[in-house]
Structure 1
């Protein structure tokens, strides 16, 4: 199922996408939760009830809805740095990596983005507010946690995966370098576009077969399979949950491939007017314009 959070003239709701882009509003069933985090926490029973509604309810035409970020997690968006080999090398050589001397990390590099940075598909990203002029894009697959927990072994991690979405881990590179720890450089307002939908795990039998692709103004910049992750999804869940208690609806962005702006010589950083598109097979395309 492709789950969405959306706006209409009546307000904000959650629902499911049909193949033609129309949306079935879960608000027509008073027994279903009203936020996506609550819906995810409802597990299989909530999904089964929504599936029955999807098969029978009259949808809202696609032209009458505005998609928002599919979910707002309870915790900050958790992110993984340098999780593709080629990107780890390009970042190490960029002059912006002040975090450690290792080119390829021996354990996942985990940081977070503030909830206030989340925006949805089609919303503007305010790179004009970056006085350093060093804003960059990072297209990524994000994992949405279903059943929460702590100290989850890698062998049991897939049981805790609810589904997937797309995150553009926008970054102010100069702040990332200046403050060493990535939080400030990653958490500017509008710097966490997410969407366009949350696809449940059963829709994607082999996530490692998916490709992440990013373009800027129609020019391809990033393209890599999820199979190239240095630390695969079960390893990430094990490492993060060793310290953090994961909650239903938490979001883990798994890392970005090579081809980010600072990887070019000279760097090709974002400017107002740029259109950034991140696509992942089976999920869709997350599109945002820099202003």
Structure 2
């Protein structure tokens, strides 16, 4: 199942995306004795496997109450995460080799995961604008990333039990101001400007993604393929990440963990390819879909 947060008839809803059609959970469960989640975090926190299995069966039935995807406004699946987005830096070998502009991480293959966080308040959705002012930054870059959505609280998670703590996966474009990263000698501010966390278009439930995760990951700018890899190329895979990160830290339902980006980001080119006004950035991950955003420079 691909869960979405969307607006229809001026009301925000949680629903399921099936090809180019949408149906709300309210509609799906109208004849069931189940509480309708008020938002995606409510679904993640309170729906167990039995309810999710019931939804799967309901989706298999003939239903005329789908509406066209064209009639709704997709939002980020979790517009307001409970905590900062947890991110990994330098988690694809080819990306490590292209790092040079920020000059704060070195070009060695990391022996341990490099963690940082970014603010998403709110995360923006598909077709929303990534906005910035050139008085703040002039070197804005894209990074397509597979994001893990935690589905169960956990601390000191064993690698072999990692999948039990996952609800599903989504796409995040870890938009980055490279000049701010270099100037401040850290990543937080350069990753956290307003609108710098596009997310979506959906959360695919883990049952639809064989484990270990092996998904094509790609980004395009104005139709030009920039990044093209597979999540099997992660330096630190998902079981390692969840086990290592949860040592002494409780991961909570609804937490979002970005797993890193492959090579092909703008700063990896000579000369660098920064994002400009009216550019279209498309981030694609197999089974999840395509997250598309336009660039709006406010100067």
Shift of 1:207: 5.1
Greater helix share, structure number: 1
DSSP 3-state at the match of 2:50: helix
- Farther off after superposition, 120-129 or 217-226: 120-129
Shift of 1:141: 0.8
- Write out per-residue CA displacement over residues 143-199 of structure 1, whole angstroms, 9 at most, x where no aligned residue: 111112111122211111111111100000111122222111101111010001000
What runs of 5+ residues in structure 2 fail to find an aligned partner?
none
Counterpart of 1:279 in structure 2 is: 284
Q: TM-score, normalised by structure 2?
A: 0.91
1:35 matched to 2:34? The reply is no
Counterpart of 1:96 in structure 2 is: 102
Paired residues of 2:153 and 2:251 also in contact (CA < 8 A): yes
1:70 matched to 2:70? The reply is no
- Write out per-residue CA displacement over residues 66-89 of structure 1, whole angstroms, 9 at most, x where no aligned residue: 111112432211111000001011
Counterpart of 1:12 in structure 2 is: 12
Counterpart of 1:158 in structure 2 is: 163
1:24 matched to 2:32? The reply is no
Which of 39, 60, 67 matches 2:67?
A: 60
Paired residues of 1:137 and 1:261 also in contact (CA < 8 A): yes
Paired residues of 1:128 and 1:272 also in contact (CA < 8 A): no
- Once the two structures are superposed, the pairs formed by residues 1-291 of structure 1 within 5 Å of their partners are 1-19=1-19, 21-28=20-27, 29=29, 31-41=35-45, 42-54=47-59, 55=61, 58-71=65-78, 72-91=80-99, 94-99=100-105, 101=106, 103-116=108-121, 118-128=123-133, 131-206=136-211, 208-291=213-296
Q: CA RMSD in A?
A: 1.7
DSSP 3-state at the match of 1:46: helix
Shift of 1:117: 5.1
Shift of 1:200: 0.6
Cα 1:266/1:136, change in 2 over 3 Å: same
- Write out per-residue CA displacement over residues 204-239 of structure 1, whole angstroms, 9 at most, x where no aligned residue: 114542111011000010011111100001111112
Shift of 1:4: 0.3
Paired residues of 1:208 and 1:225 also in contact (CA < 8 A): no
Q: Distance in 2 between matches of 1:221 and 1:83?
A: 17
- Write out per-residue CA displacement over residues 113-150 of structure 1, whole angstroms, 9 at most, x where no aligned residue: 11215101110000345633110000111111111211
Shift of 1:279: 0.7
Shift of 1:48: 2.8
Q: TM-score, normalised by structure 1?
A: 0.93
Equivalent residues, number: 287
What runs of 5+ residues in structure 1 fail to find an aligned partner?
none
